[in-house]
Amino acid sequence: MKITKCLFPVAGYGTRFLPATKSMPKEMLPIVNKPLVQYGVEEAIAAGMTTCAMVTGRGKRAIADHFDISYELEHQISGSGKEVYLQSIRNVLDKGVFTMVRQREMKGLGHAILTGQSLIGNEPFGVLLSDDLCLNDGPGVLSQMAELFKQFRCSIVAIQEVPHAEVGSYGVIAGESLRDGIYRVDQMVEKPDPKDAPSNLAIIGRYILTPDIFDIIRETPPGANGEIQLTDALQIQAKRGCVMAYKFKGRRFDCGSVPGFVEATNYVYEHYYAKS
């Protein structure tokens, strides 16, 4: 079964980037000259997930405008030497379909995913958290995971080893290593105290989820920070059936933090922009 949809939870506030994010969505902050969320959308489309389902909220209209034609701009720039600057977004608009639903209350990632159910329906789907920018020269992380899904047919989370002291910022997994970089998950904890963490394998913002997750989230009580956590729902799914964890190939930048954002900016400038 081919995965054709990807959910983008983009309703969060971006408080760490205030005042820049006071009236601008954090997902629109640029890494060099491209908004963060466009990197994510390009990754999803490259993986064949051409329906990009955005769970937005108040103050996020710029995202909907970005993934639409700007008629005036097209008209102004058409035939001029500046057309090249529109090429990447035109490519995205040619291939992608964008659907939106608004999350009215901020009740956690699990709640955001459940809000997106009407855009997904009853099929497996990708989830991409655009704060986690993942770059590599081969197939993107979602492409790698979609390939793996063909084999396992169950939910998959992307993971990365992080310093033990930092596990409290992540969902953390433990499980049986099946082969290099692939684990069958038996434990998942959201934002554990480092002394209780089952490992230092942290979940990064890429998931493939099977649609039974929606009913599970509906039954999942609030967890860490009083929010409905996707990690808690996945733990139930792992106990009932199967969840895999995958150490992806590529480099990840935590663009939800200022140092990670700056690091990503320098990296993209040096490796892509300056060479183009």
Which stretches of the chain bind ligand G1P, using CB under 6 A?
A: 109, 129, 131-132, 170-171, 190, 202-205, 229-231, 256
Give the residue with the Cβ less far from ligand G1P, 203 or 213: 203
What is the closest distance, in whole angstroms, from the C-beta atom of residue 26 to ligand G1P in the complex? Answer: 12
* Backbone angles phi and psi of 58, in degrees to 5: -60, 145
Measured CA to CA, the distance from residue 276 to residue 42 in angstroms comes to: 18
Tell me the C-alpha distance between 206 and 186, whole Å.
Answer: 19
Cα–Cα nearest to 258, from 94, 14, 10, 5: 14
Comparison of 124 and 205: residue with beta carbon closer to ligand G1P: 205
**Minimum distance, C-beta of residue 85 to ligand G1P, in the bound complex (Å):** 30
Tell me, rounded to whole angstroms, the distance of Cα 263 from its chain centroid: 19
Question: At 29, is the secondary structure helix, strand, or coil?
Answer: coil
- The label of the residue with tokens 């900016």 reads 265
Q: Report the residue number, 14 or 171, with the smaller CB distance to ligand G1P.
A: 171
Tell me whether strands 182-190 and 171-179 are parallel, antiparallel or unpaired: antiparallel
Q: Which residue in the shown chain puts its C-beta closest to ligand G1P?
A: 171
> Minimum distance between the CB of residue 107 and ligand G1P, rounded to whole angstroms?
12
Closer residue to ligand G1P, CB minimum distance, 89 or 228:
228
The residue (of 89 and 256) whose beta carbon lies closer to ligand G1P is 256
